[in-house]
Structure 1
């Protein structure tokens, strides 16, 4: 007959369960933030929507881009949006 082993204290089960939950939440958060970044990086209309509704997010996007090396994205978007605004008003 196998000897009985004592169960782990309940605090350790709580810590393990919490760590697993935290890991899953972090993975979901990372995937969501990467999805938003990818969409902002590839879709100018989405950047315009973000600019209209959440301008601070777009400002951080441009700052990160300037640190990485794409310093002309802000100006290119501003030029495009101003030219399309002129076309719409005509």
Structure 2
């Protein structure tokens, strides 16, 4: 009959480390996609980000201008100034 021996400690450490890294990357991707989706669909959220976390909104605007040639930045500022929010 074959006897079972436990895995060496370094193999268990590597396995759990890889699982943790994969989970952290998947969670980071999900959060970043959620923020991008919210920025892409909700002008009120973009205003909140403009007032509190402008560096995130700046990255969103730059990505849209480089990839799609969108002028969302100008449109947002025009709407916000017409509404008296900025």
Any gaps of 5 or more consecutive residues in structure 2? none
Across the aligned residues of Structure 1 and Structure 2, the Cα RMSD in angstroms comes to 1.3
Tell me how many residue pairs correspond in the alignment: 85
- Hey, what's the Cα distance between the residues in 1 that align with 2:69 and 2:40? 11
- Hey, what's the Cα distance between the residues in 2 that align with 1:67 and 1:12? 44
Any gaps of 5 or more consecutive residues in structure 1? none
- Hey, what's the Cα distance between the residues in 2 that align with 1:81 and 1:70? 21
What's the counterpart of residue 41 of structure 2? 42
- Hey, what's the Cα distance between the residues in 1 that align with 2:60 and 2:37? 11
Runs of 4+ displaced beyond 4 Å: none
- Hey, what's the Cα distance between the residues in 1 that align with 2:55 and 2:75? 18
- Tell me, yes or no, if structure 1 residue 76 matches structure 2 residue 41: no
Q: Following superposition of structure 1 onto structure 2, how do residues 5-16 of structure 1 map, counting pairs within 5 Å?
A: 5-16=4-15
Please list the CA deviations of residues 2-47 of structure 1 after superposition, one character each: whole Å capped at 9, or x if unmatched: x124332101100100110111111111101100100000000000
Q: Taking structure 1 as the reference length, what is the TM-score of the superposition?
A: 0.87
What SS does the aligned partner of 1:70 have?
coil
Q: Taking structure 2 as the reference length, what is the TM-score of the superposition?
A: 0.91
- CA displacement at 1:67 relative to structure 2: 1.2
Structure label with greater radius of gyration: 1
